[in-house]
Amino acid sequence: MAAFQRYAKRAATETGLPASRLGDPLQARLVAPDGTPLPGVRVTLRRKGKAEPFFDGYSGVGGRVTVFPRMHGASSAGIFELRAFRGDQQGAISAMLTTKDAPVQVTMPATLPARPDFLDLMFVVDTTGSMGDELAWLTKEMRGIVRQARRQAGDIDVNYGLVVYRDKGDVYEVRNFGMDLSAGQIQRALRQQNAMGGGDYPEAAAKALATGVGQNWRRGQGKRILFHIADAPPHSRDASRYVDAAAMAAGKNVQIFGLGASGVAAESEFLMRQAALATNGRYIFLTDDSGVGHAHAEPSISCYRVTALKDLMRRVLVSELTGIRQEAPSSAVIREVGTYQNGVCKN
């Protein structure tokens, strides 16, 4: 977290783009009596002494809970009460947290990890001219990636959503296909897209992300995942709208996974990484190893592993559906930068 804060401060200065309210997180880890992590447990957070919670969501991969109070309109000062509900929803375990604490371990009595009831999977895709290879790749691989993830994680009901966008003055700016598509319908919709338009670098990303987040996501104990696939940032005048859309996603328990494509630069990386952190998603990026798209800029990340993109996206989905982080076997690692260990930079 400290490394990201340093990066965000530098990036905000260099790009002139707005920074999200990502300081002072509340962090906890839910476990069973034997120490087994407990993902999928409903949790609420409220200021001590307040009646209503400002956050109502679920523990994530590894049983972890990371919430930024200011993203939800609450002050980060003072003491907060976390309530974790057992499967029967009749009783709750309470723990007191502050934003100064290291992750607090909360032990639940004999609670089994919860399996999500559904997966709502939204793709927000830049379809300007530079995205031709990425669009073709997604059209070809998306259905197989989800099918393999479902096979590993257990069968689950999936709703697909799709929003595509270009820029003002193009044939369309944002095209919304909705949130109740089948696998066949979204694949046909992707196949009908042609990457063209754009050309001035910034695109209608903020409006498209807000459209995707604003869909009719299902409520309850399920997974809500949005992949934003793009190479260009929103116009600078719209950057605040992008940040606001990420905050809205956090409030709806929608996780944003940014996929930085060919040509992605500092502005896009900064906004995508903020959105991912705010929503407990991840930032993913293409490298020149992929063979997809044009030349790729190296990210401002001190360590990472390069693997095949379709395998990475499958592992992301399996991790979220099972609650257990899936790491690539050493045989699948093309190259490694820095000292990487289970998602953490050790250098």
pLDDT tens digits along 239-273: 899 999 999 999 999 999 999 987 677 888 999 99
CB 19 within 8 A of CB 5: no
CB 39 within 8 A of CB 114: yes
Segment 10-28 shows an average pLDDT of 89
CB 290 within 8 A of CB 261: no
Is the Cα dihedral 185, 191, 197, 198 positive or negative?
positive
Per 3-state DSSP, the chain is made up of helix, strand and coil in percentages (nearest 5) of: 35, 25, 40
Per this entry, what is the length of the chain? Answer: 347
CA separation (Å) from 42 to 45, 58, 91, 159?
A: 10, 4, 11, 22
Q: What does residue 142 show for φ and ψ, rounded to 5 degrees?
A: -55, -50
Q: Is the pLDDT of residue 188 over 70?
A: yes
Q: Tell me the residue type at 139.
A: T
Strand locations in 261-326, DSSP E? 283-285, 304-306
CB atoms within 10 A of CB 38: 22
CA separation (Å) from 175 to 127, 132, 165, 298?
A: 10, 17, 6, 30
Per-residue pLDDT, 292 = 59
Superfamily of domain 2-107: Immunoglobulins (2.60.40.10)
Q: Is the pLDDT of residue 147 over 50?
A: yes
Considering only CA atoms, give the Rg of the chain. 20
DSSP string, 146-163: HHHHHHHH---EEEEEEE
Which has the minimum average pLDDT: 41-45, 199-203, 206-210, 325-329?
Answer: 199-203
Q: Is the pLDDT of residue 73 over 80?
A: yes
DSSP class of 343: T
Q: Which value, to the nearest 10 degrees, does the dihedral of the CA atoms of residues 46, 50, 54, 57 take?
A: 50
Q: Which two tokens stand for residue 269?
A: 């990386």
Per-residue pLDDT, 297 = 64
Segment 201-222 shows an average pLDDT of 89
Per-residue pLDDT, 251 = 95
Closest CA to 260 of 207, 301, 221, 212: 301
Instruction: Name the band, by pLDDT with cuts 50, 70 and 90, for residue 56.
Output: very high
Segment 75-104 shows an average pLDDT of 88
Q: Where in the chain is the domain with CATH 3.40.50.410?
A: 118-345
**Number of alpha carbons in the 13 Å side-chain half-sphere of residue 171:** 10
Per CATH, the architecture of 118-345 is what? 3-Layer(aba) Sandwich (3.40)
Q: Where in the chain is the domain with CATH 2.60.40.10?
A: 2-107
